[in-house]
Amino acid sequence: MTARRLTRPTWLDRVSDFSTQAGRGWRTVAAKELADHVLSRRFLVLLAILGLAALATVYFSSQLIRDAATQASGSPALFLRLFTVTGDQFPFPFFGLVSFVLPLVGIAFGFDAINGERSLGTLPRLLAQPIHRDDVINGKFAAGLLVIGLILASVTALVAAFGLLRLGITPGAGDVARMIAWVVLSIVYVGLWLAFAMLCSVAILRAATAALVAFGVWLALSLFFNLVASLLAGALAPAAGTAPDALVANARLEQQLTELSPITLYQEATVALLNPSVRTVGVVLPQQADRAIPSTLSIDQSLLVVWPQAVALVALTVLCFAVAYVIFMRQEVRA
C-alpha cells in the first residue's frame, strides 16, 4: 500500500509528462503518416481523380453559365453556380461529385490505419515507444484529414480560379465566405468517414474486411437508406388518402429519418450553403411559401440553417472516435 502511494505520480510528474510528451507523440505519428500519404499511390490517385473531376465540371458549368449569362445577370450568387450547375454533357455539378467522392476518400485513407500496422508487425514496436495509445489514432487521423483537406481546398481554389478566368465574374465576399464554409463542412464530413474507417480498422483485424465493411455501410446508406426511410415513414405515419395533416406528418417523419444518415445531412447543408435562396431544409407547406418574397439569405443566416446538420456531423465523428478509442484501449497488443 505504502509502496503504491510512493510511486503514484504527483501533479508535477503529470505536468512535466504533459509538456514533454503528451503533445508530441501524436505529432510524430502524424508527421510520419503525412510523409507516407504524400508519397503513396492513393494520394496520387485521389489527386488525379479530384483534379480531373474539377476541371470537367468547371469547364461544362462555366460554358452553361456563359450561355445563360445574359438572362442570368443580376441573379444572386452567380459565381457559386459554378459549383452547382449541371449541364447535358456532364450531368454532375462539382459539389455533387465531391459529395460522392469524399466518403470513398475518407475510407481509402483510414481502413488500414491500425490493422495495417498490426499485420506489418509494427504495432507492438510502436506501442513499446513512450507514447500513449491514443497518440497512434490521433496522429493518423490528423495526418489523413490534413492531406484530404489540403487536396480539397486546393481543388476548390482551382475551380474558383478557373471559373474566374472563364466567366470574368469576381466573387463577392459572401460568395467566398460560402465557399470557405462549404470546404470546412466538407472536411468535417470526410473526417466522419475517416473516423468511421479507422473504427473499422481498429475493430476488424483484416484490412480487406475492414474496407469491405466500410464501403458496404456507405453503399447501404447512399442507395437504400432513403428507400428504407420512406417505407418506415409509410408504416409509422401512413399518408392515407389526401388528408393534409397525414401527408405532412408522413413527409416530416420521412425527412427526420433520412437525417439519421450523414449523407443526407451533408447534402442538405451543402445545398443551403451554396444556394443563398434556400431558406430551410425542412418541409415547406404551400401556405408558408405563399406570397413569400423570393430573396436570398445572408451568409450568417445560411450558417444558422445548416448549424444543426454541422453539429450532427461533428457528433457522429466524435462518436466513431470514442468507440474506436474504447476498443483500441481494451485490445491486446498481440493480435
Partner 1 sequence: MATSALDRAAPGSRPARTRSRAKEPIITARGLTKMYGTFTAVDRLNLDVYPGEIFGLLGPNGAGKTTTILMMLGLSEPTSGEVRVAGLDPTRRPLDVKRRVGYLPDDAGFYPTLTGRQNLRYTARLNSLARGTAEDRISTVLAQVGLADRADDRVETYSRGMRQRLGIADALVKDPDILILDEPTVAIDPIGVAEMLDLMRRLVQGRGIALLLASHLLDQVQSVCDRVGIFSAGRLINVGSVDELARRYGGDRSEILVGVEAAPRTDAAAIGARLASQPGVVAVEPRPMSGDGDLNWALTLDPKASESETRAAVLRAILADGLLLTRLTRTSPSLDQIYRTAVEGHLATKGRVEVRSTEPGTGTQTSGGRRPRSVGRRASRRGPSARKGERR
**Which of 15, 44, 100, 130 touches partner 1 (CB under 8 A)?**
130
Q: Is 13 in the site for partner 1 (CB under 8 A)?
A: yes
Q: Is 2 in the site for partner 1 (CB under 8 A)?
A: no
- Shortest gap between Cβ of 234 and partner 1 (angstroms)? 47
**Which span sits near partner 1 by CB under 8 A: 32-40, 170-178, 252-260, 280-288?**
32-40
Angle made by CA atoms 278, 283, 284, in degrees to the nearest 5: 65
One-character DSSP codes across 264-321: HHHHHHHHHHH-TT---SS---HHHHTT-------HHHHHHHHHHHHHHHHHHHHHHH
**Which of 7, 73, 242, 295 touches partner 1 (CB under 8 A)?**
7
CA dihedral 318, 319, 323, 325 (to 10 degrees): 10
Instruction: Report the site for partner 1 in 174-213 (rule: CB under 8 A).
Output: none
- Shortest gap between Cβ of 25 and partner 1 (angstroms)? 7
Q: Is 42 in the site for partner 1 (CB under 8 A)?
A: no
Q: Is 271 in the site for partner 1 (CB under 8 A)?
A: no
Checking phi first, is residue 121 left (phi over 0); if not, alpha (psi -120 to 50) or beta?
left
- Shortest gap between Cβ of 104 and partner 1 (angstroms)? 23
Cβ neighbours of residue 298 under 8 Å, at least 6 residues apart? 174, 276
- Shortest gap between Cβ of 124 and partner 1 (angstroms)? 4
Q: Is 9 in the site for partner 1 (CB under 8 A)?
A: yes
Task: For partner 1, give the closer residue by CB, 119 or 255.
Answer: 119
